[in-house]
Amino acid sequence: ALPVHHTMAKYFLELSLVHYEMCHYPPSLIAAAALYLAF
């Protein structure tokens, strides 16, 4: 993985922290979605 993919995944994860709607999803699903979107 390139550094840009790592940065984008972290960015998507940080976005999920500020949205209350995301607390209904398991953390593993949020992490998988962030990685999917980063690539």
Q: What is the pLDDT of residue 1?
A: 79
Per-residue pLDDT of the chain (39 residues; tens, 9 = 90+): 799 999 999 999 999 999 999 999 999 999 999 999 999
User: What predicted TM-score, i.e. pTM, was given to this entire model?
Assistant: 0.84
DSSP states of 1-39: --HHHHHHHHHHHHHHHT-GGGGGS-HHHHHHHHHHHH-
